[in-house]
A and B are shown apart, each in its own frame.
Chain A
Amino acid sequence: MSDSSINPNEVDIVIAAINSDLTPFLNEWRPIFSPFHLIIVKDPDMDGELHVPEGFNVDVFTKSDINQMVGSSHSILFSGYSCRYFGYLVSRKKYIISIDDDCVPAKDNNGHIVDLVAQHIANLKAPATPFFFNTLYDPYRKGADFVRGYPFSLRSGVTCALSCGLWLNLADYDAPTQALKPEQRNSRYVDAVMTVPVRSLMPVSGINIAFDREVVGPALFPALRLSAEGKIRWETVEDIWSGMCVKVICDHLGIGVKTGIPYVWRKERGDAIESLKKEWEGVKLMEEVVPFFQSVRLPRSAVTAEDCVVDMAKAVKEQLGKVDPMFIRAGDAMADWVKLWKSVGSSTPGV
């Protein structure tokens, strides 16, 4: 799919600024990002000035903007990585692409720079095929198709709501894994994108993600916050939590989630062993939620992403609340998010 077929009016690129100087980051992405509108949200916990280089079509939001627009009458903390969700809230574009600010463009197996935007948009615009697995992966890709035995009635596919990209170099491992294998780096570029089958759960990483805001916007939210959540991905689970919810919601609504290309190159950061010492209890709590997500069923009456989030929030509080109060807070945050989405995210003019 050529760049010229992407309409910049359809795309916002949302970046949570965890680093104060985004100059090197944005300069690396300039050839790919410059046609598009950028929404940069400065981590409210960051002191000092944010540096954004010239030459971009960009809106920057800081702590005071966040407070002004959404106030503090809700339980959501837009801090750390979660500040990006504020960007999702104020965007009015159909597609959002969001990456962490420690990622730079990757090269494919032919040495070409991966056009992150073009590939995410291609993934989102082509149908997803969650009801039957195609062994040649995405059948809509050039040079591929459905294989013999793939039911014809399923070949038109469904809307793709979410495109989950991957990472070369520092893969998205948890702290124990990276601590045990400190030298392990991901050097395998797998040239595939595929639909994650219906009812199959997966870890959705926030490091490199894109979605159709019109279809699934309300279903990505900052809800589960570890008490010692940090500024390195393996000290957080907010995206994993949000991702499990959004997969359940997509399965319920009959829309698809893709995973695979595009890749980003993730720079070295952090000390896995130090992170392990800081926050481990919260990560263990995630084990408790798997049976919940595998079995939760949303009512037929939930036909929009908003409805689904409201129902999921209730289910979370009812069924996981007794496991740990963290989940009650998560359920409340989810319910608050839907209210925010309805007031700030839809009706008022955005960015």
Chain B
Amino acid sequence: MAQYSKVAPTPLLKDELDIVIPTIRNLDFLEMWRPFFQQYHLIIVQDGDPSKVIKVPEGFDYELYNRNDINRILGPKASCISFKDSACRCFGYMVSKKKYIFTIDDDCFVAKDPSGKDINALEQHIKNLLSPSTPFFFNTLYDPYREGADFVRGYPFSLREGIPTAVSHGLWLNIPDYDAPTQLVKPLERNTRFVDAVLTIPKGTLFPMCGMNLAFNRELIGPAMYFGLMGDGQPIGRYDDMWAGWCMKVICDHLGLGVKTGLPYIWHSKASNPFVNLKKEYKGIYWQEELIPFFQSATLPKDCTTVQGCYLELSKQVKAKLGKVDEYFVKLADAMVTWVEAWDELNPVEGKAVEANKVVAK
């Protein structure tokens, strides 16, 4: 039986959660989020021209990193962090010292539920992360730990405790997260359907992870959330979150961690240019036909018991099997290793956590 309390309020976790926001423009969108975000620490990762000054609305507690900071902090390892792509956000995951991360795009606003009430997306993500996942058997009433729901008849009792949730993947009303070809065919389609469900993605099942509205337990899965090499100087874009999602899911399945999708919704306001997107995605569209079978069949050895270990093993497999698809994957595999090394440097296991701006790059 699902034992989760429906009476106790959701903990704020304000000292345990960082909000990571990549931006190139401005952070005006934070005004709308103020009632829900103000108590949290923000990590702003400024992409693009570092000489530009990004104004952060008054009253927010934040740290901001531009490209110069990334280069200073990581030194040569900064090569693994994308430039001129929101993939740079994963630098924020690395420098955070908190247990949980919520990341959101700067064109995502507060959505309303069908009753007209503003949705506190962060609160829902926290609920998702703090309640177990159930990847080993599909519950037809979706998340059994939600108030008003439970496991259905026939759901094995031995599987009702669930496993820890590592990732909470939220959705978007208004501009849907379509690829460029779909955007070109359906430029006016808007997502108006509010689906009142959270569900666990079954073990062994892959999905396209979107980084626009995403939260995760950094302690459980952080090192697997590398958003790859995109943007400037790279042959591909708009596959950063996809890549992270496939690596993450394989590792979660291996380590016995859960991934949820569904609520919360945010309101996605900006439709990106489909022609620009097509150029970025173009190679990804046919590369992904190779990537999917790779991830679907990827297995990790039993002795990979840490996220870093799993991730490094995966990088070896990427190099060996995807290297022949394109040279890019050899570079990406190396960047995956660099990422893990940088992660471990900034997040040493023993002793006190090292403050990012004091790390001397090697």
| Chain A interface residues toward B at CB < 8 A | 109, 132-137, 141, 143-154, 164, 166, 171-174, 176-177, 180-181, 184, 186-192, 196-205, 233-234, 237, 239-240, 243, 259, 284, 286-287, 290
Contacts of B261 in A (CB 8 A): 133, 135
The interface residues of chain B lying within 8 Å CB-to-CB of A137 are 195
Q: Is B182 an interface residue (CB 8 A)?
A: yes
Decide yes or no whether B169 CB sits under 8 A from chain A.
yes
Question: Which residues of the other chain, A, contact B197 by a CB distance below 8 angstroms?
Answer: 190, 192
Question: How far is A204 from B202 in the complex, measured between Cα atoms in Å?
Answer: 16
Does B150 lie at the interface of the complex (its beta carbon under 8 Å from any beta carbon of A)?
A: yes
Main SS of the interface on chain B? Answer: loop
Q: Which of A132, A147, A151, A203 contacts B152 (CB 8 A)?
A: A203
Count B interface residues, CB 8 Å: 58
28 intermolecular pairs with C-beta atoms under 8 Å apart:
A133-B261, A143-B191, A145-B176, A147-B177, A147-B179, A147-B210, A148-B179, A149-B179, A149-B209, A149-B241, A149-B242, A152-B289, A173-B151, A174-B153, A184-B148, A186-B141, A189-B196, A192-B195, A198-B205, A199-B205, A200-B138, A200-B202, A201-B137, A202-B140, A203-B140, A203-B153, A203-B155, A287-B158
B193 to A234, Cβ gap below 8 A? no
Q: Tell me, rounded to whole Å, the shortest Cβ–Cβ distance linking B72 to chain A.
A: 33
A residues in contact with B151, CB < 8 Å: 173-174, 177
B181-206 interface bits toward A, Cβ cutoff 8 Å, 1 = contact, 0 = none: 01000100111111111000111111
Contact with A along B135-164 (1 / 0, CB 8 A): 001111110000011111111111100000
Chain B positions within 8 Å of A176 at CB level: 1
- The answer to whether A172 and B153 have CB atoms under 8 Å apart is yes
- A132's partner among B138, B140, B153, B206 (CB-CB below 8 A) is B206
> Is B4 engaged at the interface, CB distance under 8 Å to the other chain?
no
Q: Is B288 part of the binding interface, using a Cβ–Cβ cutoff of 8 Å?
A: yes
B114 interface residue per 8 A CB criterion: yes
Which residues of B have CB within 8 Å of A174? 151-155
Most buried by B among A132, A173, A181, A191: A173
| Chain B: CB-nearest residue to A154 | B292
Instruction: Give the residues in chain A near B42, CB-CB below 8 Å.
Output: none
B148 touches A190 (CB 8 A): no
B153 contact from A199, A233, A259, Cβ within 8 A: A233
Measured CA separation A148–B140 after assembly (Å): 26
Q: State A180–B177 Cα separation when bound (angstroms).
A: 41
- Known A-B contacts A109-B114, A186-B141; A151 and B182 likewise in contact (beta carbons under 8 Å): no
